[in-house]
A = this chain, B = another copy of it.
Amino acid sequence: MNEAVKPGAEFFNTKIADLHGFIARVLEAVGLSSTDADRVGKLMAEADARGADGHGVFRLPQYVQRIESGGMNPRPEIRVVREQAATALVDGDNAMGHLVMSRAAEIAIEKARSAGVAWVGACNSNHAGPASLYARMPLAHDMVGIYIAVGSANHLPPWGGTEMLLSTNPISIAVPGSRWPELVLDMATTNAAYGKVKIKAQLNEAMPEGWMIDREGKPLTDPKRANEGFLLPIGGPKGYGLALMFGLLAGTLNGAAFGREVVDFNKDFSTLTNTGHAIVAVNIASFADVREFKEKVDRVWQEMKSSPKLPGFDEIRLPGERSARIYQDRMANGVPLSRELYSSLDALADRLGVPRL
């Protein structure tokens, strides 16, 4: 524990750099190369810094368990198996998803530089943390980023069904501006992501109605009973349609798992998940003057932000605005980790013989 511990609080603030270092040494202890361990540590700590609490260090014990159970390859050879001017298919060799998708993003950026747009798919990958980590990567190159994935466990049936054949298959779209934070949408195709359900369970809080229903179609609000029901898609059949199509594009098209093939990575730690994702980079200069475009994005931000509000609303938020605020705060003050999470990370460190957080 670092100096930022709040006495008496349920949460302990941890510096991003400490988190990054801790994750890296844990992953190196279970067999990753120091370069790969450092890369994943940086991305997972960034997930926490940006407020994706269900997708950062919270997942570390589970990742370690999967590596130790032989379900994830600590020494992968990630390679491009198909390629055209504006596309690539990356075989992740069962690596941690963070390694596969940061590589895929690099390839997409490189190809979009000359072709204008690039679409890079991946198979034989794993859970990669929050979608926005990868959609954000093209931003620094004056590109729009789009990321879709097959989620790592099925949590919803097709609309009108009861068999969980679909995951919350997320989409993230990132668009750069100049004066304001980047616009970054990062959403599950369900009213709530399953990571949020897990967080509610850990905090012992009830879920709002609309997140889940049980097998009779009744609202389910106890997160500890989450395995007795399923998540609800946004807009009913529309969210189901999005989850299905994103699944075909991120999974089936890449030769990755979809539908009944999806392994529940919360329950099964040894079976190959063959997770699929895709990232698209769109070079802004292929369509517009980059500076003018960013100024227009600023105007859109300002226009939305300053427009009149409905009774009961304090402010109008832009996609990614909340996350940008959290990022600023957490980079300065650290990430609040719950006592329970801290204990599990301490136990993990002790078992692996690496220094605690």
Which residues of B lie under 8 Å from residue A307 when comparing CB positions? 157-158, 161-163, 165
A185 interface neighbour in B241, B309, B312, Cβ under 8 Å:
B241
| Interface membership of A12, Cβ < 8 A | no
Do B117 and A316 have beta carbons less than 8 Å apart? Answer: no
Within 8 A of B (CB), among A268-322: 280, 282-284, 286-288, 293, 296-297, 299-300, 303-304, 307-313, 315-319
Query: In the assembly, what is the distance between CA of A252 and CA of B289, in Å?
Result: 11
Cα distance, A82 to B187, chains bound together (Å): 32
Are the C-beta atoms of A248 and B300 separated by less than 8 Å?
A: yes
Asked if A32 lies at the interface with its beta carbon under 8 angstroms from chain B, I say no
CA distance A312 to B162 in the complex (A): 12
A100-130 CB contact bits vs B (8 Å, 1 = yes)?
0000000000000011111101000000000
Query: With A160-B309, A216-B311, A288-B253 in contact, is A87–B317 under 8 Å at CB?
Result: no
Is the CB–CB distance between B252 and A296 below 8 Å? yes
Interface of A is mostly: mixed
Question: A319 to B161, Cβ gap below 8 A?
Answer: no
**Stretch of A197-205, A230-238, A337-345, A349-357 with 4 or more beta carbons under 8 angstroms from chain B:** A230-238
Q: How many copies does the complex hold?
A: 2
Q: Confirm or deny: A332 has a beta carbon within 8 angstroms of a beta carbon on chain B.
A: no
- The chain B residue with its CB closest to the CB of A319 is B241
Contacts of A191 in B (CB 8 A): 235, 238
- Within A140-165, the residues touching B (CB, 8 Å) are 144, 157-163, 165
How far apart are the CA atoms of A239 and B162 in the complex, in Å?
A: 25
Report whether A183 and B84 are in contact in the complex, using a CB–CB cutoff of 8 Å. Answer: no
Contact B114 A117 (CB under 8 A): no
Query: Is A258 engaged at the interface, CB distance under 8 Å to the other chain?
Result: yes
Question: A299 to chain B: closest CB distance in Å?
Answer: 8
A217 with B312: in contact, given A175-B245, A317-B237 (CB under 8 Å)?
yes
CB of A89 within 8 A of chain B? yes
What CA separation (Å) do A283 and B115 show in the bound complex? Answer: 15
A242 cross-chain contacts in B, Cβ below 8 A: 185, 187
20 pairs, CB–CB < 8 Å, chain A vs chain B: A84-B114, A84-B286, A121-B287, A159-B316, A161-B304, A161-B310, A161-B313, A175-B248, A175-B249, A183-B244, A191-B235, A249-B282, A252-B297, A252-B300, A254-B287, A254-B288, A255-B288, A258-B296, A259-B303, A260-B303
Closest 5 CB pairs of A and B: A234-B235, A87-B116, A84-B116, A160-B313, A86-B86
